[in-house]
Amino acid sequence: MKLGLSMGESRYIGKNKEEFSESYKTYLRQNLSLSKNGNELTFENANQLSLKNVSPIAALESIGGNAGLGAQAVNFLTDADGLILFVGNHQNAPPHIRKLFYAGKLYSHTIQSAVDPKVYRYLSNTEISKASRDRIEKALTKFYGVAPQQSYDLFKMNCKIALEKIFSYPH
């Protein structure tokens, strides 16, 4: 697998090799963004770049609801190797990403976070290899500066504390 191309996706559309595939265009855009910052395209660097989209998407999501009291949730999609290809709900993904998702070639994950970004959980309702899960957890730990919380009860308690801190400050 070429890094950035999911599940052996071709670089080209069709056999004529005249037009790049959408997956390859995504790979090129990500590689260009990383190289502009002086970084090479590795799983870790590519995932860090993708995770920068979490905060703007979280700002559009409501707090509470399905995410839980004082929490918000952001979904993301990865390939089988744990490379984050899209951050957000799969319905909002570009057509080529949705096509791969509906074909069962991408995996869905969720970051559930409190209003305090240091309090978060990582959830995956799909089967993904331990190595891929470790890559994702490593990227999340580096991005947030702390490891994801494993206990839901501890997460709920920390969400409540974070929410109470916000409302206890004078406005």
**What pLDDT was estimated at residue 41?**
66
Can you give the pTM of this predicted structure?
0.73
pLDDT digits (tens, 9 = 90+) for 49-95: 778 878 777 777 767 777 777 788 899 998 888 888 889 888 888 88
Please determine, for residue 39, whether its predicted confidence score (pLDDT) is greater than 90.
no
Q: Given this model, what pLDDT does residue 8 score?
A: 45
> Rounded to an integer, what distance in angstroms lies between the CA atom of residue 73 and that of residue 21?
31
Helix axis angle, 130-144 to 43-51, nearest 10°: 50
- Amino acid, res. 157: M
101-129 pLDDT, tens digit per residue, is 999 889 999 999 887 778 999 998 768 88
Q: What is the mean pLDDT of residues 137-165?
A: 90
For 94, how many CA atoms within 13 A lie in the half-sphere containing its CB? 9
Structure confidence at residue 9 (pLDDT): 52
Residue pointed to by tokens 């504390």: 161
How many Å from the N-terminal Cα to the C-terminal Cα in the chain? 53
Question: Between 65 and 140, whose confidence is greater?
Answer: 140
